[in-house]
A = this chain, B = another copy of it.
Amino acid sequence: MGDTNRQWRLAARPTGEPTHDTFELVEAGVPDPEHGEVLVRTIYQSVDPYMRGRMRDAESYAEPWEPGEPMRAGVVGEVVESRADRFDEGDVVTGDLLWAEYATATATELRRVDPSLAPVSTAVGVLGMPGVTAFHGFMDKGKPQAGDTVVVSAAAGAVGSVVGQLASAMGCDVIGIAGAEEKCDWLTDDLGFDAAVNYEEEDVGRAVAEAAPGGVDVYFDNVGGPVTDAVWPSLNDFARVVACGQISLYNATELPTGPRKLTDAVQKRLKIEGFIVRDYDRWGHALRRLGGLVRDGDLQYREHVIEGFENAPDAFLGLFEGINIGKTLVKVGEEPELP
């Protein structure tokens, strides 16, 4: 290991859209693990939309990040020094660590990653937080039935692409909403979506209504705002809306307004439920199911890999441009060679 350790820290809380000035690259020493801890060398660092919320000075389900402090991130890394019984040097692990080249963690915070099962990068993607989010959000909150019509926004994203494939595998009709032709093609050609709507090109409300002539039973919402407004009139009686993300609103500087939705909620007896994966502390069941689907080729995924730790802010900022397909992550260091 080297003896330098770069960290990205929060330079200042962003107002509106984050910029490069939001981030500050700091040289820090490589920390020493204490008893029960390991030192992890970052291989992949995840960037995720929820991080925008941590940059706010607002009470939320997680503590806000403080300016001048390191930011946290899902990381896949290699144990390079262990003072914990459960892990040895060379083990690949994943956990909620730091935007950093090295970080220590207690053994209980980490999950072992088996490099022989799937590329280790998937541990922060289809076989990690986004995959588990899709699994529990869709299955537990969406309560899908075979034959239901399911609409997914940000359908080519890390979460949406999994939701749509789970829905399709269950015998639902699946309509994805995404912002580029290439994304729409991926959804329908490779992932088994029945239809895809390009929100940059089409009238979303009309396109969803045409693609779902019998109405929509489950709307898995990663986006919010006008896209959600457009889906709303197509919701059936007793439809379930899984409010998983609202990325279109995360950079708003004032509380945004839009059409009121609760009259429809009454009339149609909608069930609208907010969802955060960290409320589930046991991921084993979901990971086994997702892992089986990936192994059998029934769950496709794509990764948008940004090379180089120094480019982590670009990776994050790209999430709000909607140009990436699949899971966005940063390659920070080399993968260990398989034994």
Question: Which residues of A approach B to under 8 Å, CB–CB?
Answer: 53, 60-61, 221, 224-225, 228, 237, 243-246, 249-250, 255-276, 279
A276–B269 CB distance below 8 A: yes
Q: CB-CB < 8 A to A259: which residues of B?
A: 255-257
Q: Give 13 A-B contacts (CB < 8 Å), ordered by A residue.
A: A61-B269, A228-B262, A243-B265, A243-B270, A244-B266, A245-B266, A258-B258, A262-B272, A262-B274, A267-B274, A268-B274, A271-B271, A271-B274
Q: Give Cα A260–Cα B246 distance, bound, in whole angstroms.
A: 10
Question: Given the complex of chains A and B, what is the CA–CA distance between A258 and B267 in angstroms?
Answer: 18
Minimal Cβ-Cβ distance residue in B for A268: B274
A246 touches B272 (CB 8 A): no
Instruction: Find out whether the CB atom of A273 lies under 8 angstroms from the CB atom of B269.
Output: yes
Residue of B nearest to A58 (CB): B267
Residue among A244, A249, A262, A273 having the largest count of chain B Cβ atoms under 10 Å: A262
C-alpha spacing A228/B53, complex, angstroms: 24
Q: Check if A60 sits within 8 Å of B267, measured CB to CB.
A: yes
Most B Cβ at <10 Å: residue of A264, A267, A271, A273: A267
- Return chain B residues, CB-CB under 8 Å to A221: 262
A260-B255 in contact (CB<8A)? yes
Bound Cα distance A256, B260 (Å): 6
A256→B237 CA distance, assembly (Å): 21
Q: What are the residues of chain B within 8 A of A249 when measuring CB–CB?
A: 260, 262-263
- Let me know if A263 and B61 touch, CB within 8 A: no
Residue with the highest number of chain B CB atoms closer than 10 Å, among A61, A245, A265 = A265
Instruction: For the complex, give the distance between the alpha carbons of A53 and B267 in Å.
Output: 9
